[in-house]
Amino acid sequence: MFSPPPINNGIEVSGEYSLPIVILSIIIASLASFTAISMNERIQKNSFFHRNFWLVLASLAMGFGIWSMHFVGMSALSLPFMMHYDSLLTCLSIIPSVIASFLAFYIVNQKKRSITTYLLSGIFMGIGISTMHYTGMASMVMDAYYVYNPWIFITSIITAILVSFVALYIFSRQQRYAKNNYIKALTSAIMGLAVPSMHYIGMAGTSFYLPKQQVMTAGHHMNMTLLITGVTIGITLLLGLLQLSSLVDRYVDFRVSHIDILTKLPNRRSFEKALNDEDVYRSIAVWNLHNLEKVNNDHGYHFGDEVIQYAANALHQLNIPLSELYRIDGNRLALLLQGKDRLNELQHAMKNISAKWNHPVIIQEKKILLQGVCAISTINDQQSQKRLFSDILAVLSSPGIQYKNEVIRFDPLIHTYSFEQEILNTIDQAMKNDDLFLVYQPKVNAGTHKIVGLEALIRWNHTEHGFLSPGVFIPILEQSHRISDVTNWVINKVCNQIKVWEEQNLPTYRIAINIPGEYVTSPRLLRTLKKALNRYSVNPSLVELEITETTVMESAESSMRAINTFREAGFSVALDDFGTGISSLSNLRQMPISTLKIDKSFVDEVPQSEKDSSILEAIIALGHSLNLNIVIEGVETKNQVDFLTSTSSLLSLQGYYFAKPMEPDEVMEWIKARNNE
């Protein structure tokens, strides 16, 4: 292995390298590193899958990359004798690189890391690379034999360890910038050098000898079959793993965002999306389970979960055609039905459930009497399905409910007034007691992923009904002309929050406030804004007023005057829900707005829909041509982010892909963590 043959027994021969193939081998190693880094990103997140799932994928990517690089690198060397590989040893040679990669990534992904951590992971990776290389060398079957220079042999292993150490150190320290593809590519290139550096140093210390009687094969070139096989296997596996990662990302995005973990049913977000986006549902039933807190206290939370699952299974087993079951709250299950004239069918099914639950049921060998109430409602073709849930809340707010598994049909003469009046009667107290509160959703620059602003969104934790969607109570406030009072409350809350953050030496960002249509042209709005700015000593540049496109279209002239006034006062003005009002481009050109906010409906099917993608690209180009800031709302998937970033790196992106709306302390913690990355 280390001793050259006697001079009389062999002739030393040398080969030539093909530079393009050498470069190709380095590219494969770098691609493997890029794939492994992409997998390692997920290890640092609270992933839907166990972290070892991503560790295995990262190890396979790196291991196959090392293996492919070796055999492509060998194909770059043209030697004057015939050679082939032992199939078994060739296959086995991949094992050390995969195992070593797993150990290295496992160590470097520990929460507590030191220089020893990086050194240990570098040793594992370097030994894995070296073992794979020299096992691959041992798999060569040829008439010649080879000898290693012991010093270069040792140097190649040390080089693999040192370069791996540096690469893994940089990788670990740069994980915070993982979403920046330029940083990731640079790190991948450095990691990719660890493998070829060891390979080519090791080959430089390898001498090949032919027996004297052996005739050299003149003009022998690299084995093209080996090259093609190595490249094909390596790149196919790496790209396959990247594609698998992308598919898993999309699956996880959907599961986490739209599915209830306990029942595996669509969640509240899916429910609201169905009511807002799909105009097909005409009937609804909602079961409100009562006294779940008492069940949890008496029997434990695990048993409480079993009760919810039992109720969900009972409703699911009804198998009502053209229906969808949701878990919309901790104690509420909703059933949406498509089609007309199905109220009697729905009522009959719910009464069957009621009759069953009026007797004790057995859950985990315990008898328990389920207590609840079922509210049902239906609409005709002239009514919006968005009102279905409002009708349900009106039923559930009625004072006569006894929670004896009644099935109550919505009656507008009884329930509407009661619910709407309750909302109006409690709104002042809600503002005073902070039952009404604000959450903030970050806006992120598409190119740098830095935070560029926040949007203030209103929420209501109702004392009777729990968390109410703004889509439920805001229409009631608008109809009763109370929305301006709530808007004034929001303005003061936002300005106060900016002051609090400034006093705490925390970063401040421009915060967007939604201004309702009827209030845009009111002189009271400007007075309230100026008063709040003076009271809390807030710069108007930190406040952005979001005005819907339909508001401007309904009263173009007065809206234009109001927008001009806001801009002169130093406020930023955004045109919200752009594209939904089919606005006049001439009006858009004349509007003194600073920001164009593109409605979520244009993003939902991007990039799958070529038509939607083209429309969105056109709107973005239009906004840029008018020198407007552009905000895209409703960004929920990596595919959408990638498409939008490729369209323009100047966009501001907002949506659940980056962050949900958060309360003030939570959003600052999120921003702090992101800025520390």
Compute the distance between CA of residue 657 and CA of residue 674 in angstroms, rounded to an integer.
14
What was the pLDDT predicted at 46?
47
User: Which range marks the domain in which residue 120 is found?
Assistant: 10-257
What was the pLDDT predicted at 238?
66
What was the pLDDT predicted at 219?
41
Compute the distance between CA of residue 649 and CA of residue 642 in angstroms, rounded to an integer.
10
Residue with tokens 């409480």: 304
Percent of the chain with pLDDT over 90: 31
What was the pLDDT predicted at 620?
92
Cβ distance 32 to 64 under 8 Å?
yes
Compute the distance between CA of residue 514 and CA of residue 458 in angstroms, rounded to an integer.
9
> 3-state SS string over 598-645?
ECHHHCCCCCCCHHHHHHHHHHHHHHHHCCCEEEEECCCCHHHHHHHH
Interacting residues of 500 by C-beta distance below 8 A, sequence separation 6+:
664
Task: Assess whether 42 and 123 both reside in one domain.
Answer: yes
Task: Assess whether 360 and 449 both reside in one domain.
Answer: no
User: Alpha-carbon torsion 353, 355, 358, 362, what sign?
Assistant: negative
pLDDT tens per residue across span 113-134: 778 888 888 899 888 888 988 8
- The pair of structure tokens assigned to 527 is 């007075």
pLDDT tens per residue across span 492-526: 999 999 999 999 999 999 999 999 988 998 999 99
State the greatest distance between any 2 C-alpha atoms of the chain, in Å, as a whole number: 111
Residue with tokens 């709302």: 633
Task: Assess whether 120 and 234 both reside in one domain.
Answer: yes
Task: Assess whether 31 and 114 both reside in one domain.
Answer: yes
When pLDDT is cut at 50, 70 and 90, the band that residue 225 belongs to is low
What was the pLDDT predicted at 190?
77
Task: Assess whether 253 and 272 both reside in one domain.
Answer: no
What was the pLDDT predicted at 530?
94
Phi, psi of 437 (to 5 degrees): -150, 165
* Total domains in the fold of the chain: 3
Interacting residues of 602 by C-beta distance below 8 A, sequence separation 6+:
579, 612, 615, 616, 619
Whether residue 3 is contained in a domain is answered as: no
Question: How does DSSP classify residue 57?
Answer: H
Question: How does DSSP classify residue 555?
Answer: T
As beta bridge partners, residue 286 has 334, 375
Who has greater pLDDT, 543 or 55? 543
Residue 52's H or E segment, with its range, is: helix 51-75
Cβ distance 539 to 570 under 8 Å?
yes
When pLDDT is cut at 50, 70 and 90, the band that residue 222 belongs to is very low
> Which range has highest mean pLDDT (188-202, 378-392, 520-534)?
520-534
How many CB atoms neighbour CB 586 within 10 A? 8
Long-range contacts of 151-154 (CB under 8 A, 24+ apart): 151/205, 152/201, 152/202, 152/204, 152/205, 153/2, 153/202, 153/205
When pLDDT is cut at 50, 70 and 90, the band that residue 676 belongs to is low
Whether residue 417 is contained in a domain is answered as: no
Task: Assess whether 193 and 149 both reside in one domain.
Answer: yes
Domain final residue pick, 230, 257, 284: 257
When pLDDT is cut at 50, 70 and 90, the band that residue 175 belongs to is low
Domain final residue pick, 218, 236, 257: 257
pLDDT tens per residue across span 57-69: 888 888 888 888 8
DSSP E strand boundaries for 341-405: 361-363, 366-368, 372-378
Task: Assess whether 14 and 126 both reside in one domain.
Answer: yes
pLDDT at residue 240 is higher than 90: no
What was the pLDDT predicted at 312?
95
Q: How high is the mean pLDDT of the chain? A: 84
What was the pLDDT predicted at 493?
97
Task: Assess whether 339 and 456 both reside in one domain.
Answer: no
Task: Assess whether 198 and 312 both reside in one domain.
Answer: no
Q: To 10 degrees, the CA torsion angle through 489, 493, 495, 499? A: 150
Whether residue 123 is contained in a domain is answered as: yes
First to last CA, the chain: 49
Mean pLDDT, to the nearest integer, of 437-459?
A: 94
What was the pLDDT predicted at 287?
96
Spatial strand order of the sheet with 406-409 comes to 323-329, 332-338, 281-289, 372-378, 406-409
Compute the distance between CA of residue 412 and CA of residue 424 in angstroms, rounded to an integer.
17
CATH number, domain at 353? 3.30.70.270
pLDDT tens per residue across span 249-262: 667 666 777 888 89
Q: Which of 537, 525, 466 is nearest to 490 (CA)?
A: 525
Which ranges in 174-278 belong to alpha helices (H)? 181-204, 224-258, 268-277
Q: Which of these ranges, 82-96, 155-169, 208-222, has the smallest mean pLDDT? A: 208-222
Number of residues that this document lists for the chain: 677
Whether residue 527 is contained in a domain is answered as: yes
Task: Assess whether 248 and 305 both reside in one domain.
Answer: no
Which ranges in 265-378 belong to alpha helices (H)? 268-277, 292-299, 301-316, 343-357
> Which range has highest mean pLDDT (152-161, 272-281, 305-314, 399-408)?
305-314
Interacting residues of 407 by C-beta distance below 8 A, sequence separation 6+:
347, 350, 351, 354, 374, 376
Cβ distance 647 to 259 under 8 Å?
no
Whether residue 415 is contained in a domain is answered as: no
Who has greater pLDDT, 10 or 623? 623
pLDDT at residue 475 is higher than 50: yes
Compute the distance between CA of residue 478 and CA of residue 480 in angstroms, rounded to an integer.
5
What was the pLDDT predicted at 565?
93
What was the pLDDT predicted at 196?
87
How many CB atoms neighbour CB 674 within 10 A? 16
DSSP E strand boundaries for 89-244: 140-142, 145-148, 206-211
Whether residue 625 is contained in a domain is answered as: yes
Question: How does DSSP classify residue 406?
Answer: E
What was the pLDDT predicted at 20?
86
When pLDDT is cut at 50, 70 and 90, the band that residue 50 belongs to is low
Domain final residue pick, 213, 235, 257: 257
Task: Assess whether 240 and 273 both reside in one domain.
Answer: no
When pLDDT is cut at 50, 70 and 90, the band that residue 428 belongs to is very high
pLDDT tens per residue across span 520-562: 989 999 999 999 999 999 999 999 999 987 777 777 788 888 9
Q: In terms of DSSP bridges, do strands 543-548 and 572-578 run parallel, antiparallel, or are they unpaired?
A: parallel
Whether residue 234 is contained in a domain is answered as: yes
Whether residue 5 is contained in a domain is answered as: no
Task: Assess whether 565 and 527 both reside in one domain.
Answer: yes
pLDDT at residue 464 is higher than 70: yes
pLDDT at residue 107 is higher than 70: yes
Compute the distance between CA of residue 505 and CA of residue 269 in angstroms, rounded to an integer.
35
Cβ distance 291 to 403 under 8 Å?
yes
What was the pLDDT predicted at 486?
95
Residue 105's H or E segment, with its range, is: helix 94-108
pLDDT at residue 302 is higher than 50: yes
pLDDT at residue 221 is higher than 50: no
pLDDT at residue 45 is higher than 60: no
CATH number, domain at 596? 3.20.20.450
Q: Which of 378, 273, 290 is nearest to 326 (CA)?
A: 273
pLDDT at residue 98 is higher than 70: yes
What was the pLDDT predicted at 87?
78
Q: Which of these ranges, 425-434, 451-460, 666-675, has the smallest mean pLDDT? A: 666-675
When pLDDT is cut at 50, 70 and 90, the band that residue 409 belongs to is very high
Mean pLDDT, to the nearest integer, of 388-402?
A: 84
When pLDDT is cut at 50, 70 and 90, the band that residue 483 belongs to is very high
Cβ distance 385 to 279 under 8 Å?
yes
pLDDT tens per residue across span 341-364: 888 999 999 999 999 999 998 988
Percent of the chain with pLDDT over 70: 87
What was the pLDDT predicted at 220?
42
